Structure 1
Amino acid sequence: MRPSNTVEAKRLAKTDTVIERAIGKSRSNRVELRFQLLEAAASRFGGFDLAEYHSRFGVRTRKSAARLVADARAIAQSIDESGIHPALALSALAREALDESDRRSSGAYHTDFRLALHLARSVEDRLVPDMRVVDPACGAGILLAAVSLTACGSDRILANEWLRNCVFAADLSPLALRGTLLSLAVLTDDLDALSQMRAKWRVQDSLLAPTKEWKALAPEGFDLVVANPPWEKVKLSRHEYIKASGESRTYGSSYKMDTLRGYEDAKMEKAATAARLVEKFPALAHGEPDLYVAFAELLLQLTRPDGSGALLVPAGLIRSLNTKYLRQELISSTKELAFTVMENRARHFAIDTRFKFLLVDYVKSSKTDKGSKAIGISHATSDDERVNVAKQVKLNVDELQKLRPDLTLPEVRTTAEWKLFKKMQANGVSPEYENSPWQTDFCREVDMTHGRPHFRSTPEPKCLPLIEGRMVQPHRLGCKSYVSGEGRSAVWRNLAPGTSAIRPQFWMPLRTLSAEALKRSKMPRVGFCDITGQTNERSMMAAMIPDGVVCGNKVPTVTFPNDPTQERALLWLSIVNSLPFDWLLRRVVTTTVNYFVLLSVWLPDIEPDSLPGRRLVEISRKLAELDKRGRVSFDVCWQITELRAEADVLVATAYGCTEADLRLMLRDFPLLDRGQPSLPGEERSTVTSDLLLSTWARRKRRQSENAERVSAAMQLGAIAYLSSEFAGTISEVREAAYG
């Protein structure tokens, strides 16, 4: 293991230190000595003879078996103290060490013990004697160890037969299979059972292995297939290539051409691999080939009719346009299908804690079945010991297909959320129908990577300011001004509402622009920041883009060819910046608001010349004016907030929402009003929720206690709808006004 911030790594850090101490100062083949010590620890737990084990499996020992077993005493004791079952702990300790570059190039994100046990428990009712279980990308075998533990418990007799007959494995790495063997050896002292099990394992690229080799192992298919396959696109970027060479850099920073020596050859090699995989796995033909998509197809192929599978994959499976074919295949090929959505906040993987992934659980159809009628979706959280799953929501496939023709799954947590999603989509209109006035032209005007050689750091004649994503907030363009630095290390200054101004990091020469970008730079249009997240304070952030500027690729711009009036653009702006639209978007977005995602969220049926449409157009126009006043004041801030609350109510009404629906939506925005003063006796401010609900009540001509709460919050200097990132920009004004 390498030092890591995962929960599992911290639990096993002491054990890792004990192992390193036992290895000592040996400089030759430390990896081999580590494996022998882990095998010795396994023998202490399993009770088998270590010398015989090494003899059977061709291990040339570096120390006597007795010495290794003695050295492993402290290792075994430390594993016991970790609270992780020895089979799972030894699997984790036997993993090949990967740095960030290795992990990204291989797509290997190791499964921690909590996920392994959760996956095993999800299939527990299907575990029976004499079944055939396979992991075709087993790594160090933690999933097979967890399934075996769940199937056998502490029953050694059952474990002997299970290992002898039921466990199949494959991996590219012989060392990975060695780790799998020693982790499963914890469960038995029967070396014959281990030998017979190991004889059924394969060192191979499972994706490219001939079908006949799988048929030889399981002629009718496997009863259970489990996997946490590699998560990586079969594509090489300049950024990844440079980092793989050992250079430290942040994404978006500049690079020297000599660091790309060999890049084109490596890129062609990747492309050749991708072509071979696409030929074998049709789902890969739709978009950039991703290894987990190929493995998901392989798992379906390996599963016998009425057999089942469980796999861990990125959440893109239920979201991405590129995985539509795979979603269709999963639904049509299974009679039971469920997805559990998880976040990495509990540090299962050594990656961003916001990363979302899935447990996919299915039962394959028999010849007489016609595919899944409903799809289960649930959400899970984790503590330091286990994964905890909330109640499952069932999505009817026919209903889903009407609302989401691409079969992307909305992340709804309750039946109430599913009903609200269905209602809002049903009351919306698709921008994709023929001659729709909402038909949309998207454009990424400047590629920030390929265009970098042309950037100017100071304004020059015949150059346009370059708009970046961080400069965009809802109804605000120029909310941040550039100070210094580059890439992700760049320093920007937050500007208060009412003082937005375009002060960019770069300017772009007109001569370098594409014809479409040049055309757009001469007209007003709308643009939005495409970097987002479901759990961000807000997910959709769009603003009016004036002529005389050009936008980077993180700010796609939007025009409406069937209705090029500015009123259409301003209406769209009010709708997409609303909380109701944001709530819908959060059901289907991951980290990027792309063309495909945005078109799949249907807009309420409002036209610019309707009464609510005219008011929403006026609101967008007024918000842009207020943000360019050149000064900050509480009056301006509250004019902005009241207009935004009114827009939210108009959009919610058009979607057919009720007050109860609004309250349900607001639960999905827990980060609102951070940085605002809370009411006495309360832990956090709720000024935005209170303003929205009081505005709703006022339009319905009802009294609301929320109005009193808004007044009290105003007296404390709170401002609704203000991003916490910008809360500090009005602190001086608040202090002057309220002391």
Structure 2
Amino acid sequence: MLDVGCLADETIAEVREKEGRYAAFVRSTPYEFGRLWADAFCAAFVWRKQAGALPPITEIVFRNIERTPYSVSPPIKEEIRRLAAQYQFFHWHLAFPDVFRVPANGSDPEQEAMGWNGGFDVVLGNPPWERVKLQEKEWFAPRHAEIANAPNAAKRRSMIEALAHDDPALYQAFQDARRAAEGESHFIRSAGRYPLCGRGDVNTYTIFAELNRQIQHAAGRVGCIVPSGIATDDTTKFFFQDLMEAQALISLYDFENREGIFPAVHRSFKFCLLTLTGADRPARQGAEFVFFAQNTAELRNQERRFTLSAAEIALLNPNTRTCPIFRSKRDAELTKAIYQRVPILLKEGETEENPWRIRFLRMFDISNDSHLFQTCEQLETAGWNLKGNSFIRENESYFPLYEAKMVHQFNHRFASVEVDTSRQFRQGQPKESSLDNLKDPYFSAEPHYWVKEADVKGQLPEQFHTNWLIGFERITATTNERTFISCILPAAGHSDSIFLVLISKLIDNTPILVSNMNAFCFDYVTRQKLGGLNLNFFLVRQLPILEPSFYNQACNWYPCSKLQDWLIPRVLELTYTAWDLEAFAKDCGYDGPPFRWDEERRFLLRCELDAAYFHLYGIARDDAAYILDTFPIVKRKDEAKYGEYRTKREILDIYDAMRHAQHANIPYHTRLDPPPADPRVAHPAIPRP
């Protein structure tokens, strides 16, 4: 084949000669046998293995094909060819034998994973961005709209199974499509071709990114356009980590599609220009990054460009070694400084560092567990009675199923769910609780669904605090008013839109964790880490959280008290505003009625907590002011309500007062009168519900 590549192709006759020589090559016996052997390897992973099928390709069969390809039986050979055509097997070393060369004399290959020498000098591409797993809704959309528009996954599965009787041809077509997708997934995960990206819910862009690097020459370059998740997602962490450690990443320029660079792609979608280098030309100075660009002109802004090394990536994301997403050099430097002072929530490794002794819990999947849920109408028809926001019948209970739309920071009663059955999708819409609702200690937010008490308790392990829970919203965005939304929740049902943080009963400072999670400084760091809309467990594990033992020390601005004793009353008053969190109040050492909902007091309580955490995180005043300015919606709402950015002013004023108290060695004087969690700001003695 190498002589074909050397032939001249200046004239039509020379091109035809070259074409003929190539055609003869691919018809040659060595090529045919090489193609059969390579196809057999791929076919082994998608071979139908069931009763009555042809014998599968085992290691013994595969090696026999290698040694004696002419002995392969016609049915086996035909099935290999059929699968090769169906799955479109492609073999780089056969298609480009002059580029990819098998090393001679048993020497080690330059590309160990692929077993060849050589590669392309330049690889450019914009690969497909598609999930390999068959998406039922998308598959049925042009074929059976009713199934595609089923209200939930459980109903859709039931309708699909009914096709076996109602429409056997469509049912078989679906089964074939699903099996084809499963075959592709099996090859990607198990064949060894994609050791870094062949895992998780595979997307084709990750596979192409790894492939581009495999077919690159050691002195070559790769340039491709892929979703920015290549650097930030958990499923691609091994690929990105390898890029950084091998000094293979030249640059990653991240774009938001707000200006419609790709017209058919959603305007919020993020993609990047990824540039890689080969092993012979490593990027020794680190990789250059730009995030949140909207057009190529913004790449010239030097304040937007920053460099990170593998060691700095390891500091910022020690578990996954994925990339944070800084908007500027200042964000990068400020975040690195925070991580040098504050440990992460949970550090993975041979010896796990988990000081809060936490466990994350995704309690109920809103689609897959929908068969467990009941509506208000269904329960009332069955004779259940509503008490508070739980249904009771004899000795049994149905607990409310909380969704993210129902909660907010320090507020588990933010909204009820109103059901509009006229809507095809998202029938449950939030109805924000009124001020009168929030002032009523008996008021509870009403959900869309309820779930059996036994099913809830079956999800909660006994060794953790389960009389009340800490939760945070899973779906969020860096462009929201606030990004990390956390609160204390009743021991009830919780959908997968709320992730739960279970904490060991052995930890005393549990209530404080939610104050840390709701602080502006913590939210700011979260925004540097969130590449999409999902606040996944792997991301939260790597956020900077003060350890529980930290709160046992004296409070610098109130030296007569421990930090925990200064913080807990503020968390208690903000949280315990209704009887359904009485268990939480008792665990905080308080046995009185709920605290009154007072907007001004709540504002000042939160300002004190935010000022405190700026100090506890070691953040200088100028940096605290900068962080507060990165929350434009908070600022805009304040200016509309107060005529100024009051939140920023109050927090910085309190920050200054705390700093003065520390330097003067005098207690900080709270602006709250009565002080936080004073019984005088609770509801008067009223009967429990």
**Aligned residue number for residue 215 of structure 1:** 96
Residue 697 in structure 1 maps to residue 659 in structure 2: no
Distance 2:315 2:293 in 1: 30
Q: 2:600 aligns with which of 633, 638, 654?
A: 638
Aligned counterparts, 1:408-419, within 5 A = 408-419=322-333
> 1:217 and 1:277, CA in 2 relative to 1: closer, same or farther beyond 3 A?
farther
Residue 491 in structure 1 maps to residue 429 in structure 2: yes
**Aligned residue number for residue 245 of structure 1:** 143
Residue 424 in structure 1 maps to residue 338 in structure 2: yes
Q: Which runs of 5+ in 1 are unaligned?
A: 1-202, 703-739
CA RMSD of aligned residues (A): 3.3
**Could you report, residue by residue, the CA deviation over 1:581-636 in whole angstroms, capped at 9, with x for unpaired residues?**
01111111121111110011121345343423332222221101247799xx9981
**Aligned residue number for residue 470 of structure 2:** 526
- TM-superposed CA distance for 1:698, in Å, is 2.5
Normalised to the residue count of structure 2, the TM-score between the two structures is 0.65
Residue 361 in structure 1 maps to residue 275 in structure 2: yes
**Could you report, residue by residue, the CA deviation over 1:619-665 in whole angstroms, capped at 9, with x for unpaired residues?**
221101247799xx998111111111111111121111011111221
Aligned residue for 1:477, secondary structure, equals coil
Distance 2:141 2:645 in 1: 44
> 1:671 and 1:204, CA in 2 relative to 1: closer, same or farther beyond 3 A?
farther
> 1:207 and 1:347, CA in 2 relative to 1: closer, same or farther beyond 3 A?
farther
**Aligned residue number for residue 75 of structure 1:** none
Distance 1:522 1:625 in 2: 16
Q: What letter is aligned with 1:559?
A: L
**Aligned residue number for residue 523 of structure 2:** 582
Identity of aligned residues (%): 20
Residue 596 in structure 1 maps to residue 538 in structure 2: yes
CA contact (8 A) 1:286 1:325 kept: no
> 1:452 and 1:304, CA in 2 relative to 1: closer, same or farther beyond 3 A?
same
Residue 501 in structure 1 maps to residue 399 in structure 2: no
**Aligned residue number for residue 402 of structure 1:** 315
Q: 1:375 aligns with which of 267, 271, 287?
A: 287
Residue 539 in structure 1 maps to residue 483 in structure 2: yes
Q: What letter is aligned with 1:648?
A: D
**Aligned residue number for residue 685 of structure 2:** none
> 1:528 and 1:215, CA in 2 relative to 1: closer, same or farther beyond 3 A?
same
CA contact (8 A) 1:283 1:293 kept: no
> 1:340 and 1:371, CA in 2 relative to 1: closer, same or farther beyond 3 A?
closer
**Aligned residue number for residue 222 of structure 2:** 309
> 1:484 and 1:371, CA in 2 relative to 1: closer, same or farther beyond 3 A?
same
CA contact (8 A) 1:404 1:600 kept: yes
Q: 1:320 aligns with which of 207, 220, 233?
A: 233
CA contact (8 A) 1:465 1:508 kept: yes
Aligned residue for 1:672, secondary structure, equals helix
> 1:290 and 1:640, CA in 2 relative to 1: closer, same or farther beyond 3 A?
same
Aligned residue for 1:488, secondary structure, equals coil
Distance 2:292 2:398 in 1: 50
Residue 670 in structure 1 maps to residue 588 in structure 2: no
Aligned residue for 2:345, secondary structure, equals coil
Distance 1:612 1:493 in 2: 37
CA contact (8 A) 1:437 1:562 kept: no
Aligned residue for 2:571, secondary structure, equals helix
Distance 1:465 1:360 in 2: 46
Q: 1:331 aligns with which of 244, 258, 263?
A: 244
**Aligned residue number for residue 229 of structure 1:** 127
> 1:303 and 1:205, CA in 2 relative to 1: closer, same or farther beyond 3 A?
farther
Distance 1:424 1:294 in 2: 34
- TM-superposed CA distance for 1:677, in Å, is 4.8
> 1:387 and 1:407, CA in 2 relative to 1: closer, same or farther beyond 3 A?
same
CA contact (8 A) 1:441 1:559 kept: yes
Size of the aligned set, in residue pairs, is 490
Residue 446 in structure 1 maps to residue 339 in structure 2: no
**Could you report, residue by residue, the CA deviation over 1:495-515 in whole angstroms, capped at 9, with x for unpaired residues?**
146357321110012354572
CA contact (8 A) 1:525 1:557 kept: yes
CA contact (8 A) 1:225 1:309 kept: yes
CA contact (8 A) 1:286 1:322 kept: yes
Normalised to the residue count of structure 1, the TM-score between the two structures is 0.61
Distance 1:584 1:319 in 2: 15
Distance 1:627 1:463 in 2: 20
- TM-superposed CA distance for 1:517, in Å, is 4.1
**Could you report, residue by residue, the CA deviation over 1:234-258 in whole angstroms, capped at 9, with x for unpaired residues?**
1134443443535263885874522
Distance 2:604 2:367 in 1: 40
Distance 1:531 1:277 in 2: 29
CA contact (8 A) 2:577 2:596 kept: no
CA contact (8 A) 2:639 2:645 kept: no
**Aligned residue number for residue 258 of structure 1:** 159
- TM-superposed CA distance for 1:335, in Å, is 4.5
Distance 1:473 1:557 in 2: 14
**Could you report, residue by residue, the CA deviation over 1:384-425 in whole angstroms, capped at 9, with x for unpaired residues?**
x96655321011222322332222112123332222111111
Range 453-462 or range 273-282, more displaced: 453-462
Q: 2:187 aligns with which of 244, 269, 276?
A: 276
Aligned residue for 1:282, secondary structure, equals coil
> 1:605 and 1:426, CA in 2 relative to 1: closer, same or farther beyond 3 A?
farther
Aligned residue for 2:201, secondary structure, equals coil
Aligned residue for 2:124, secondary structure, equals strand
